[in-house]
């Protein structure tokens, strides 16, 4: 938590103040890099099991253990946030803006430290982690700019009477993050929530619990009221306590469809609004009139960022038959050159997958694809780096599958790994119909020089985020979210402010009251 310890807490289980928490996390990192023993950080008392954090590139080496937050700890976090909300919500938008700008400045100045911690936290390359941190501080800056713009409208009524609307904060919001972009997702949720005057209790994935703690400390350093942004650790049980808490006004979740369904059900019992950013199986359509090099670059970006563990990835790559061979040949050649290995090295472009069960799951999809008739054009095997310290890592070679058909499991289900499926098509009408033939609707993309065709196709795609002649870029100015089973609500852009606020209508009578009684 980002609040001081209470006198009622036994010293061993005391809630750490920000400086102590930071020391624990950084000490764990330094311990890892120097191959020292495990560090245990007792942040809060709990009857639940310990959550072990393993280094993804050197599995089996525990860098720290965090206690899962139980029902009492979640309640303490919510009550702390509720108290901070009373202060924060009464501040002007410009006052909140200055605090968010200060938080952005701290993140920007500590970019390298936070990116290194994120790489250790998640396993992605340091190159990508730096981009994530840049997007994070940009997100805070963007919403700092919008914080002072929250406003209602004036409506003139007959006889000099009038009405007006007020856009007001919701209260304590719950944020539940994913393990693929731990720090960035936390910023995407916290920035608009805090800009609107809310407080937030955030639960990161138990697989990536570290960097969001640093974010909480940064908010405290920037000047938010104590407890405005609290962090609870744990798995499903902790999330359930948070979702069921009567003082939580809204839930924002990023993760899988099955978990999203459960969260929606829990929110329904309390009539709480939810934002759900769930999975995807997005189409990337490559027309024969595209700029081939750009299309190849786009396909690589659409499939292999963060080891392919990206919800909006364009993993169904539809290629017009006229250029199928030349496109496939170039994609395979480029994929085979991707540097895999130690994610802390500057030239590494693909790090380790999140954990062993997930690596096994991705391998299972590839095995099933081959059984169903797909051809492995390159990659797909477990990768063993030359560095002996990494020999047991959760690495795999990025995979390109050919000879795919729409009914294959690898084409229908979200793999969430570095696996691209290439499918040929002949006509625009055909590919649009096939692209939409999915339960998901998170993203989609098209590469073509024909701008009319590009706009026509994206208009027909049933997806919330579409790209023309690019893929997987994340400007914080643009709303992000899905259709269908990929969820609802929006993150980023001005639209997100509507999901972290509520509208009050006020009717003012300037004359006498007429009664029918």
Instruction: Tell me which residues are annotated as active site.
Output: 277
Tell me the DSSP string of 265-293: HHHHHTT--EEEE-----EEEE-TTS-HH
Asked if 55 contacts 341 with a C-beta cutoff of 8 angstroms, the reply is no
Helix ranges (H only) for 148-256 are 182-195, 211-222, 236-244
Measured in degrees and rounded to the nearest 5, phi and psi for residue 498 equal -70, -25
For residue 147, give the 3-state DSSP assignment.
helix
Q: What is the largest CA-CA distance in the chain?
A: 89
Are the C-beta atoms of residues 375 and 307 closer than 8 Å to each other? no
Query: How many C-beta atoms surround the C-beta of residue 121 within 10 A?
Result: 28
Q: What distance in Å separates the CA atoms of residue 397 and residue 377, rounded to the nearest whole number?
A: 12
Question: Which tokens hold the place of 226?
Answer: 């104590």
Closest C-alpha to 487, from 443, 431, 446: 443
Cα distance between residue 229 and residue 220, in whole Å: 8
For residue 342 the two structure tokens come to 């130690």
Containing 424, the helix (H) or strand (E) segment is strand 419-425
Secondary structure E strands in 17-120: 40-41, 50-54, 62-67
CB 314 within 8 A of CB 444: yes
Residues forming a β-bridge with 350: 340
Give, in order, the Cα–Cα distances in Å from 445 to each of 95, 281, 351, 451, 459. 40, 12, 25, 13, 11
- What percentage of the chain's residues is helix, strand, coil (to nearest 5)? 45, 20, 40
Half-sphere exposure of 301 (CA within 13 A, CB side): 16
- In this structure, the number of other CB atoms found within 10 A of the CB of residue 262 comes to 15
Q: What is the 3-state secondary structure (H, E, C) of 7-46?
A: CCCCHHHCCCCHHHHHHHHHHHHHHHHCCCCCCEECCCCC
CA dist 131 and 184 (Å) reads 10
CB 482 within 8 A of CB 464: yes
CA distance 366 to 379: 10
Whole-Å CA distances, 294 to 127, 332, 462: 21, 15, 24
């Amino acid at each position: 938590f980002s609040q001081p310890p209470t006198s009622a807490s036994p010293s061993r289980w005391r809630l750490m103040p920000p400086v102590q928490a930071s020391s624990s996390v950084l000490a764990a990192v330094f311990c890892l890099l120097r191959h020292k023993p495990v560090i245990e950080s007792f942040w809060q008392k709990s009857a639940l099991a310990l959550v072990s954090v393993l280094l993804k590139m050197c599995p089996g080496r525990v860098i720290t253990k965090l206690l899962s937050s139980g029902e009492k700890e979640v309640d303490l976090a919510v009550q702390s946030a509720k108290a901070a909300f009373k202060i924060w919500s009464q501040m002007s938008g410009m006052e909140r803006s200055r605090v968010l700008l200060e938080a952005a400045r701290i993140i920007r100045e500590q970019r390298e430290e936070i990116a290194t911690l994120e790489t250790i936290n998640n396993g992605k390359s340091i190159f990508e982690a730096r981009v994530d941190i840049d997007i994070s501080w940009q997100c805070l800056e963007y919403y700092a700019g919008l914080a002072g713009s929250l406003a209602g409208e004036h409506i003139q009524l007959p006889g000099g009477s009038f009405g007006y609307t007020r856009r007001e904060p919701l209260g304590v919001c719950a944020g539940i993050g994913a393990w693929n972009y731990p720090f960035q997702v936390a910023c995407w949720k916290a920035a608009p929530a805090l800009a609107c005057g809310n407080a937030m209790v955030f639960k990161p994935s138990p697989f990536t619990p570290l960097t969001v703690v640093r974010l909480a400390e940064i908010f405290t350093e920037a000047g938010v009221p104590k407890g405005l942004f609290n962090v609870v650790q744990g798995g499903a049980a902790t999330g359930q306590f948070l979702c069921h808490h009567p003082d939580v006004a809204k839930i924002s979740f990023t993760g899988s469809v099955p978990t999203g369904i459960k969260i929606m059900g829990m929110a329904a019992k309390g009539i709480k609004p939810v934002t759900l950013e769930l999975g995807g199986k997005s189409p990337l359509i490559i027309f024969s009139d595209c700029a081939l090099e750009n299309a190849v670059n786009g396909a690589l970006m659409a499939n292999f960022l963060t080891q392919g563990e990206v919800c909006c990835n364009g993993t169904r790559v539809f290629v017009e038959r006229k250029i199928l061979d030349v496109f496939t040949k170039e994609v395979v050649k480029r994929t085979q050159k991707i540097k895999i290995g130690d994610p802390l090295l500057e030239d590494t472009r693909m790090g380790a997958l999140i954990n062993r069960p997930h690596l096994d799951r991705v391998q299972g999809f590839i095995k099933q694809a081959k059984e169903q008739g797909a051809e492995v054009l390159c990659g797909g095997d477990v990768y063993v780096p030359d560095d002996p310290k990494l020999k047991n890592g959760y690495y795999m070679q990025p995979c390109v599958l050919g000879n795919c058909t729409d009914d294959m499991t690898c084409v229908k289900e979200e793999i969430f790994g570095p696996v691209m499926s290439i499918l040929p098509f002949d006509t625009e009408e055909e590919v649009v119909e096939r692209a939409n033939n999915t339960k998901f609707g998170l993203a989609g993309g098209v590469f073509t020089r024909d701008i009319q065709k590009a706009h026509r196709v994206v208009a027909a795609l049933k997806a919330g985020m579409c790209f023309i002649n690019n893929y997987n870029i994340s400007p914080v100015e643009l709303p992000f979210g899905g259709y269908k089973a990929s969820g609802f609500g929006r993150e980023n852009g001005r639209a997100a402010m509507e999901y972290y606020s509520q509208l009050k209508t006020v009717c003012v009578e300037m004359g006498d009251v007429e009664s029918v009684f």
